[in-house]
A and B are shown apart, each in its own frame.
Chain A
């Protein structure tokens, strides 16, 4: 009798124990699967920081929306400014340019130097290039480069022994001068009688000039520093 009741109670207890174990196994498994941080404090802290972040972001949304509507209002002004900026960059030469124009190639006089002759008489000088570039400018060139060095307002062309320094970069012959503008105007302006190009041709320099529908002029890629100059009339143009 005692044995029977003992068996029954042990059976029931084992059954309950099995159920408890199974539930615990399942709970532990799902716990491990989701990797939820065990500490309540951790979760609370995460919630706190997430809430703070959300609030900050909401504020940012408000301010950005205000800015956006501002920008929309000033859209026309912005477009004008953008256009102005683009124009100014083109004028300054800090952006690449392309368009119809001419490509002018100048090289040294090919003949052998006679004994007693000055070799300086046969090479292209900085003064030649300066004069040619100046002639191009006066013929209506809009953007000029020499051997892929963009000529900007402060660009120098000067001799450095056998080479030439343009934008402090060394370049050598042949010199390829590219200019955008009205090709016919440029060509006739360069070929004008008594112009420097015709004089160089008479001396025997190798010169070729061709009109092109698409001349690519690179941007000036050197530093632009103003150490001593400041804008004299501030704010006048921005209005």
Chain B
């Protein structure tokens, strides 16, 4: 399980670094928000997997929709003149740390 995640991450990194795509600076901010959302989804998925409450549909849809929503919210915030992406950063950041904490407890219990 862990090996699979790390392996796929590394492959993704390799592909990404090899890709000739360079995002315009204006969109870098939105991609960073989307990455935060994706990270949150992944950790949430891992947590669900360890809790045996993992649902593929929820996981995949959460990954896609969260990322798009976060980026879209940040974009709207920019248009409105409100730094809305900060809200996304805080929410996803808090959730990532919560999920990490729960994963850690399961791991401690397991071994």
Q: Point out residues on A near B: beta carbons under 8 Å.
A: 2, 5-7, 9-28, 30-31, 36, 38
A24 touches B32 (CB 8 A): yes
CA distance A166 to B12 in the complex (A): 92
Question: Is the CB of B101 closer than 8 A to any CB of chain A?
Answer: no
Q: Is the CB of B12 within 8 A of A22?
A: yes
A203 CB → nearest B CB, Å: 95
CA distance A6 to B63 in the complex (A): 13
Question: What chain A residues lie within 8 Å of B60 (beta carbons)?
Answer: 9, 12-13
- In the complex, which residues of chain B have a beta carbon less than 8 angstroms from the beta carbon of A11? 4-5, 8
By a beta-carbon cutoff of 8 Å, the part of chain B in contact with chain A is 1, 4-5, 8-17, 19, 21-23, 25, 28, 31-32, 34-35, 38-39, 41-42, 45-46, 49, 54, 56, 59-60, 63
CB-based nearest A residue for B28? A27
Whether A21 and B16, one on each chain, are in contact in the complex, defined by CB atoms closer than 8 angstroms, is yes
Contact of A15 among B12, B32, B39, B59 (CB under 8 A): B12
Decide: B12 and A24 in contact? CB cutoff 8 A.
no
The answer for the CA separation of A183 and B63 in the assembled complex, in Å, is: 105
Point out the residues of chain B lying under 8 angstroms from A5, CB to CB: 56
- CB of B13 to closest CB in A, whole Å: 4
Additional A-B contacts beyond A7-B4, A14-B4, A19-B13 (6; CB < 8 A): A6-B56, A6-B59, A10-B46, A13-B42, A13-B59, A16-B63
Tell me the interface secondary structure of chain A in the complex.
helix
User: Can you show 15 pairs from A to B with CB atoms below 8 A apart?
Assistant: A10-B1, A10-B46, A11-B4, A13-B45, A16-B38, A18-B11, A19-B19, A20-B16, A21-B9, A22-B13, A24-B23, A24-B35, A26-B22, A27-B23, A27-B28
Smallest Cβ distance from B103 to chain A, in angstroms? 13
* CB-based contact A16/B12 at 8 Å: yes
B22 in contact with A30 (CB, 8 Å): yes
Q: Whole-angstrom distance between the alpha carbons of A92 and B63 in the complex?
A: 92
| Cβ-closest chain A residue relative to B20 | A26
Which residues of the partner chain A approach B59 to less than 8 Å between Cβ atoms?
6, 9-10, 13
Q: Are B17 and A10 in contact (CB under 8 A)?
A: no
**Within the complex, what minimum Cβ distance (angstroms) separates A12 from chain B?**
8
Residue of A nearest to B38 (CB): A17
Query: Contact at A14–B19, with CB atoms within 8 Å?
Result: no
| CB–CB A17/B12 < 8 A | yes
Q: In the complex the two chains form, is B19's CB within 8 Å of A23's CB?
A: yes
Give the distance to chain A from B92, nearest Cβ to Cβ, in Å.
13
Whether B42 contacts A14 by the Cβ 8 Å rule is: yes
Partner of A18, one of B9, B23, B32: B9
A2 engages B31 (CB within 8 Å): no
User: Which chain B positions have C-beta within 8 A of A38?
Assistant: 25
Shortest Cβ distance from residue A65 to the other chain B in the assembled complex, whole angstroms? 41
- Docked CA distance A25–B22 (Å): 10
Pairwise interchain contact A28-B49, C-beta atoms closer than 8 A: no
